[in-house]
Amino acid sequence: MLATTFSFRSRLTIAIHDTFMVACAWLLAFWFRFDLNVIPLDIFNSALHYLPYIILSQSIIFWYFGLYKGVWRFSSLPDLIRIFKAVFFGVCFIAGSLFLYNRLAFMPRSVLPLYCSFLLLFLSIPRLFYRYYKDWVRHESEAKRTLIIGAGAAGEMLARDLIQDEGGLLLPIAFIDDDKRKKGRSIRGVQVLFGTHLVAKYVTKYNIDIILIAIPSASDVEMRQIVEACEGTQIPFKTLPSVKELLSNTVNKGNLRDVAIEDILGRDPVNLDWEKVQTSLSGKRILITGGGGSIGSELCRQLARVAPESLIIYDRSEFNLYQINAALLREFPNLKLHAILGDVVDRVALQEMVQNLQPEVIFHAAAYKHVPLLENQILAAVNNNLVGTKNIAEIALAEKVERFVLISTDKAVNPSNIMGATKRAAEILCQNLHTLSKHTSFITVRFGNVLDSAGSVVPLFREQIKAGGPVTVTHENVTRYFMTIPEACRLIMQAEAVGTGGEIYVLDMGKPIKISYLAEQMIQLSGLSVGSDIKIEYIGLRAGEKLHEELFHEQEQLVGTGFEKLFLAKARHYEQDVWERQMTNLLAACDTRAAEAILEQLKQLVPEFSMADA
């Protein structure tokens, strides 16, 4: 309580201070008028006589101009302007009132300008000094010395928030930027250094405790270089989210988070033609099979934003369905939602659902996708990935659904495993059905690995690191293409909006990433060292795995679509009658449940399918 009373956040304390300063300025003005010599007794007595009136008048004017509303900790230019107005108006009022009372007979005329000048200094300097003390002297002794990478708008806003944070734990010491024009400049009183590649040098020179990366617009390549430079310093570092994550212009310390693997592997976002997507999907009844999965659930969230007439989620997992249903009800309370438990292999249940709810657009995301697991379970893979696709696609054709979007994978290109072969067969199925359809457009979207999806390498590595290692990588040279879940869903929605039917859309996935590099970065981003803390073990390629994935077949010529990073793969032609006969043979083999017979028929169905050596 006592500390609060005498704090400069207390109005009483501020009022006492200002009153004392008024008295000092008033008497000092008389002393300076007489050249710091003894003030004549009659004039000194008159100055003391009128002092209570000066204090009372000035205090009322200070209150009127709001000098007691400001917090000294955040004194700034507007506060100084308020002080100037209050002092100037106060001097004018005092001069005018005393002139009317006694013609200022007791006062030399130079006293008032001196009083005005002294009072301005006495009110302003303590406030600014207090802010300096709180911002730098006291703050510097208590806070962590902070280096901010990026001297742009985000860096400036972050520095301002840290400086103004009373009791804050982070003190900006310097900026680093690669823009030579900013070298040597000062932002918010903080100097700008040049060269992000010199981070380690600056950390040592300025005794830095923590690094903050404030470049939301950084590309994955730039972010990778910055992170690698920060890792070499052996001190903690955090980052602001990317531009696509910062939905407002507000940047503050609350936005800071640990650098995630998505920050250095995530690519520039796909620029979604939102107007075309809304035109295509708004007001539609939309069905998502596998809507509780990694891709399906994010697709549900993004589709909910286009204001569909209704959203139908079909999934075999009760828990996944419950989770996405609860999340959508919470985020979109006005959305008409149908959450239905069911399996795409159950054709009767599918048909009843489609006939009852009459979807106009279907996104088919339901599939088994774990490559090694499916190598020895070919019947389950064919049933779910191919027969399930056949069921929902043929029902869509029969019920005259407007558009059917198959979500496929890069593993369908020259497949070397059961999973890829079944997805390629599903692609061919949809292409053939499109040639038979007059009402339904069948569209395929193909992309690579999705970061942090269920069963993918990122959560696996995360668990292995948490357990203390080792992190297992199949081969030191194995590479994969990566994209984020939201990016994958934007691609799917864009392809649906621009597709006319029969197409296979492929995303420009950029450069493939070595899985060993991914493992090293995840270990280092966890604050650990590769080798000494967590070891990486190379266990050899698993059944069905390729060393390098492909995005399109050599006979599939890629052409532009007019949309950035979205390409169209020229589909290959398959004889309809031959393919239908092969499909019939495959289904007959499934009835026998004989793995060898099913595998033989799958190879007939997908000629480019060649089993990889484990």
Taking a C-beta distance cutoff of 8 angstroms, is the pair 104, 51 a contact?
no
Q: Where are the alpha helices (DSSP H) in 484-575?
A: 485-498, 515-525
Closest CA to 522 of 536, 541, 538, 539: 536
Is the CB of residue 597 less than 8 Å from the CB of residue 379?
no
Strands 170-177 and 190-194: parallel
Which residue type, as a one-letter code, is found at position 191? Q
User: Residue 348 burial by CB count (10 A; 0-12/13-18/19+): exposed, middle or buried?
Assistant: exposed
Q: Produce one character per residue of 442-481: b if its CB has 16 or more CB atoms within 10 Å, e if not.
A: bbbbbbbbbbbbeebbbeebeebbeeebebbbbbeebbbb
Q: Scanning the structure block, which residue is given the tokens 């302003």?
A: 124
Residue entry with tokens 């029902």: 395
Catalytic machinery residues: 411
Strands 186-187 and 190-194, bridge-based pairing: antiparallel
Question: What is the spatial distance between Cα 481 and Cα 4, in angstroms, rounded to a whole number?
Answer: 59
**8 Å CB contact between 598 and 590:** yes
Name which of 287, 282, 238 is nearest 403 in CA terms.
287
Q: Which two tokens stand for residue 591?
A: 């009835």
Both tokens of 586, joined, read: 């495959």
Hey, what are 45's tokens?
Answer: 């007595």
Question: Which phi and psi (to 5°) does residue 207 adopt?
Answer: 55, 55
Q: What does 8-19 look like in DSSP terms, one character per residue?
A: TT-HHHHHHHHH
Alpha helix (H) ranges present in 400-514? Answer: 418-436, 457-466, 485-498
